[in-house]
Amino acid sequence: MPRHSRQLETARPLPGIDQSDLPIFNQDWWIEIACGSSRYRELKVFDGNVVVGRLPYIISRNRKGFSWARDPHWSHLGGPIVDEQLSRKRQAEVLQSLLEQLPRWSSVDFICNPNVSYADLVRTAFKNAGFEHRTELTYVRHPSNTDVMETRKSKHNGHIKRAAKRLDCLEINAEEFVRFYAANLWTQEKRSYSSLDAMRSLIEEGTARAQMCAIAARARPPDDETLTERSNVPYDAAIVYVWDKFRCYYWLSTRRVVPADSSDPKPHPDAIKFLAVKAMEHAQAMNLIFDTDGVTTPGTENLYRNMFGLRDEETRDVFCRTTASYRLLKKCRLFVRRVLHSLAMRKSVYPA
């Protein structure tokens, strides 16, 4: 049986696991940056002196003070990473050893890649460890598909074609994207769920490794406008997409927010769609699958399916195990809601 250990330091390149075959979110350089200043943990399983399994995660607390173990911030795929060269039996042993090391005092939630060769063993291991299993939808586009502009309804095609006549697409650096992203959050009085410094470092390193691209859209200049005058024109929207050996992921996007009392021009309504087409065209040129990187709301599903014109659906595996105290809190909250609802209904039927 392989020995295992609990590793609390930041990630380092490890022998035994081929980095080139991993999704970008599981590669060592990404994990080391994504963990940032968070409470990072990493579990490892060794075979001799070789790491054959690892499970990186962070510990965070929700608003109620409950502890959660999750994939590192800014990482949309995570979970166990196992050496593909191992036998199926040994892979199952490694997965069991990793999950046995997870803290029982914390709830745990992982989104796992269903495309790895041992995905069925991952599902079995999590099930045996008492985890609930659900799926998360994502839309994909294969490089063998037809022209990017031929996959959506004519209405949305017309929107994008008109946007292409009015907008320029330009590549921007990490600092420019983060500054634009932060400004839009500030205008909406929102906060980032994780460090923007980590986001900046990820974009800088990913760009240097030729695994990431940040692009922005802004209004196309009149013929008589000088380059100096263009430097003050705001972006309408910006996106970042990332890629590995097999897939290109639609990672981040942000759209300029104009306050209601502002006289500034509003951003082009189709700027995001215009940039997404550019990303899909780049993915196709690289012969990579374009992945929307998860559907989390009805709004994003409408965006990807109808506006982006994507039809091929895939699912990701999501595993969750909650603590007894968290389950008790949920039951108490549900009970209180039912009581309050019953009282409200009784009051409406028998008014004072």
Q: What are 204-251's pLDDT values in tens digits?
A: 999 999 999 999 999 988 765 554 455 678 899 999 999 999 999 999
Q: Which residues, 6+ apart, have CB-to-CB distance to 322 below 8 Å?
A: 107, 330
Mind listing the pLDDT tens digit for each residue in 36-50? 766 888 999 998 888
- How is 69-106 classified by DSSP, letter by letter? EESPTT-SSBS-EE-TTS-HHHHHHHHHHHHHTS-SSS
Instruction: Give span(s): CATH 3.40.630.30, the chain.
Output: 140-310
The more confidently predicted of residues 228 and 171 is 171
- Measured CA to CA, the distance from residue 106 to residue 323 in angstroms comes to 6
82 has pLDDT over 90: yes
Q: Is domain 3-130+316-338 in CATH 3.40.630, yes or no?
A: yes
- At residue 19, the pLDDT reads 78
pLDDT of residue 8: 35
Q: What is the pLDDT of residue 320?
A: 95
What is the average per-residue pLDDT within 337-343?
70
C-alpha 286/C-alpha 303 separation (Å) is 24
Q: Which of 271, 237, 273 is nearest to 256 (CA)?
A: 237
Q: Look at residue 182 and give its three-state secondary structure.
A: helix
Averaged confidence pLDDT in the chain: 85
- Angle, helices 196-208 vs 174-187, to 10°: value is 150
Q: pTM for this structure?
A: 0.83
Weakest mean pLDDT among 66-75, 78-87, 325-334: 325-334
Mean pLDDT, rounded, for 128-137: 95
118: Cβ–Cβ under 8 A, 6 or more apart, which residues?
82, 84, 88, 91, 95
pLDDT at position 149: 62
Which of 259 and 317 is assigned the larger pLDDT?
317
CATH classification of 140-310 is 3.40.50.150, yes or no? no
The pLDDT score that the predictor gives to residue 226 is 54
Which comes out higher in pLDDT, residue 261 or 54?
Answer: 54
